[in-house]
Structure 1
């Protein structure tokens, strides 16, 4: 959504200017009345939590991924300011629509922020400026809104052809910048009466009737996770909307501010905005070499492989508690590496953070040298634990490694590296019994 505090249209729009824009763009298009009885909707299953994504504008446009507590999971630079962003219904594609001129739909890599494709928009939306609302519908079509008109549009992302949506905002309201398909089938739409007032929130019923259900602080983006709607406000707050009534109201909706980011949000999305139940999924597989047993002085190489097994970009974050390794061994300096993302060690915990495209993998390695002598418990056990939504172990024991340390002994007959048969200079008889070593003078 557009950050109205920034004069992107040459000057800050006023309520009077909105009226002129509405008149010039023919916003007297027929709109559904909010007085009709609501149509019946079928409840959907509650989805698991999924991350929230937002885009900012200004001098350094950025794509930011948040968890449901408002903590930043990842960031990526964007090439331009987008009026809004939206995931496809299966979460495999991230779209962005440029702001404020030249209507073009872009495809964005959610991991790097790079544009991977673009398509010019045709039809009635091509003549509309200040496009600031973009959300996928379950059938793959995109719902589009603009700060310049009350009309809502549909956009085919495959062809770029736009058409009129069968409902619109009331005549004195334009798009604030987002739409969400709720679990009951209604579409939640955020409006704007002017550049400073709270955003009126509407339900668009399946029969295309429109009813206002309340207001929220001026909102430029919205995203849904596990049936909960989050509104991204113009002041940078991420607000959780605690209740979405089904009856008409103009009263403020109850909200909880989960994070005051200070960011200049232009838009927001999640993989569940279309009413589909897409959630991130990734697996962790861990191994150690040598496996099972080691000796004092050995260097053990640990490898953790993270794989995105879902249909949408996912954070494969994990932590690895090394405390039960470091009582017997020492982390080899400079041995911590990762093929992507960031691996850090703080105190006795290794953490990896990174976002992976569907099907992509990242490999994290580190080495530990067993102490000589080993005065610990002679057992090296550690577990890699997923710390982002959708993470699991590749197998039931795939996140855990356990290594027992055998004590090295150099006395004849007690074994040790470099000795005959690996057990000093002892030899065995034909029956496999160990014999006392022969001493020569």
Structure 2
């Protein structure tokens, strides 16, 4: 008998409960109506990469977003332990199911981890504990597994009504924690014979037959990106499954550990687990004020706007190399701000990290003061570069700004910089008409006041 006390479940039951590595790619599943199963769809083009999301539990329950190399993109605190998490087929909604007790389906804001709604579960799943597997099907229904039973369930997220799935794990095997639709139409499911053994991996065919195709290190969650399945192991490793057999086997599947995180995974998901081809998308646009030209001693304000243009939550991370700015100017202390996320400057590089809901924007601003005298190259050029999946510049030049520092004119009688017509005021700047001030040409000594001086070309 499994001990359902939290200390045991934290890494063992939870991981086993969450670790059902099911790679499914949007072909759908046959219905339990006795009809002949349709032929498996033909493989389609591979989707672009998408981030991998995982949830941890216990005292520091967190929602963590990883890139495909296992690098952390974002983290957010969670209010409770979830047996697993799953995105809707279009990536617009993130679901979580509580663990290990009474079954409730929650929707979670992937930006800050807050719960936005809850739906009580009814039907046969309502009597099941230790629910640890949750994945969307292409039609929007959720496939659900439990560490307490070999039965698999379907759940309508809109109503909370559950029904029996027309297939189950073999006797003596329960859910390890996830389901994924593969590109060939099969559903990949990870099982658990106990709390310590490697996880047997199964294919559920469109006709609802179930075959084991191998084993992987004990897995508590899984996610799919660009046709590749990633298994989130009980020891905190993120394992890439290098190939998935189509024939029956109990041999270990080939895996590569892309990152040893040490995290206590409870579940995992991506926007492509349902077999859909959802990918993150965000744009960056940058501007400098004033634009084009500036003068020694002037202050410039830079603004970078990040917009999520996709249907799923996405990170809009970017970096901005200020090396060719700070040779001519100095960053104004305390001027770096952002409307959301985190902006930091290390050496001469500004970075911003943050996750945005679909359609949301974040604005990052900072200021620099041009040196006086300017001993640099008198050209301030910098580029904001997207660093998360799906990032692009809003236009071909939308991420780049170039501001020139005007040369100072030192000829007697003409002061400093001159306006566009070449005339100076008493500070060396021309007025709107190009005439000097009451002292004449702007040098403070000339006595001609109403005569338009000759333009000086620099």
Distance 1:383 1:117, change over 3 A: same
Query: 1:52-75 CA distances to partner (integer Å, 9 max, x unpaired)?
Result: 000011112111111111111111
Distance 1:104 1:3 in 2: 21
Q: Secondary structure of 1:59's partner? A: helix
| Within-5 A mapping of 1:369-380 | 369-380=369-380
| Within-5 A mapping of 1:249-268 | 249-268=249-268
CA drift at 1:413:
2.5
Distance 1:134 1:366, change over 3 A: same
Distance 1:272 1:157 in 2: 18
Corresponding position of 1:366: 366
The answer to whether structure 1 residue 98 and structure 2 residue 98 are counterparts is yes
Corresponding position of 1:434: 454
Query: 1:202-236 CA distances to partner (integer Å, 9 max, x unpaired)?
Result: 01111111111100000000000000100000011
CA drift at 1:409:
3.4
CA drift at 1:44:
2.4
Corresponding position of 1:297: 297
CA drift at 1:375:
1.0
Distance 2:209 2:229 in 1: 21
The answer to whether structure 1 residue 394 and structure 2 residue 414 are counterparts is no
C-alpha contact 1:3 1:220 (8 A) present in aligned 2: no
Query: 1:286-314 CA distances to partner (integer Å, 9 max, x unpaired)?
Result: 00000000011110000000011111110
CA drift at 1:4:
9.0
Corresponding position of 1:68: 68
Distance 2:10 2:116 in 1: 30
Distance 1:431 1:228, change over 3 A: farther
Corresponding position of 1:226: 226
Q: Secondary structure of 1:434's partner? A: coil
Distance 2:396 2:430 in 1: 39
C-alpha contact 2:441 2:453 (8 A) present in aligned 1: no
Corresponding position of 1:18: none
Q: Secondary structure of 1:276's partner? A: coil
TM-score normalised over the length of structure 1:
0.89
TM-score normalised over the length of structure 2:
0.86
Distance 2:37 2:120 in 1: 39
Query: 1:362-418 CA distances to partner (integer Å, 9 max, x unpaired)?
Result: 110011111111111111111000000000011111100001110233642254364
Distance 1:435 1:345, change over 3 A: closer
Distance 1:372 1:271, change over 3 A: same
CA drift at 1:38:
11
Corresponding position of 1:306: 306
C-alpha contact 1:55 1:265 (8 A) present in aligned 2: yes
C-alpha contact 2:12 2:234 (8 A) present in aligned 1: no
Corresponding position of 2:107: 107
C-alpha contact 1:122 1:162 (8 A) present in aligned 2: yes
C-alpha contact 2:12 2:196 (8 A) present in aligned 1: no
Corresponding position of 1:52: 52
Distance 1:11 1:86, change over 3 A: closer
Distance 1:362 1:420 in 2: 39
Corresponding position of 1:413: 414
C-alpha contact 1:3 1:264 (8 A) present in aligned 2: no
C-alpha contact 1:429 1:435 (8 A) present in aligned 2: no
CA drift at 1:172:
1.3
C-alpha contact 1:167 1:210 (8 A) present in aligned 2: yes
Corresponding position of 2:17: none
Aligned length: 414
Q: Secondary structure of 1:320's partner? A: strand
Corresponding position of 2:333: 333
Distance 1:196 1:302 in 2: 54
Distance 1:337 1:10, change over 3 A: closer
> Could you list the runs of 5+ residues in structure 2 that have no partner in the other structure?
14-31, 418-424, 443-447
Distance 1:44 1:54, change over 3 A: same
> Could you list the runs of 5+ residues in structure 1 that have no partner in the other structure?
14-31, 437-441
Query: 1:7-33 CA distances to partner (integer Å, 9 max, x unpaired)?
Result: 4569987xxxxxxxxxxxxxxxxxx9x
Q: Secondary structure of 2:324's partner? A: helix
C-alpha contact 2:11 2:234 (8 A) present in aligned 1: no
Query: 1:67-125 CA distances to partner (integer Å, 9 max, x unpaired)?
Result: 11111111111010000000000000000000111100000000110000000000111
Distance 1:266 1:403, change over 3 A: same
Q: Secondary structure of 1:330's partner? A: strand
Query: 1:159-199 CA distances to partner (integer Å, 9 max, x unpaired)?
Result: 00001111111011100000000111110000001111000
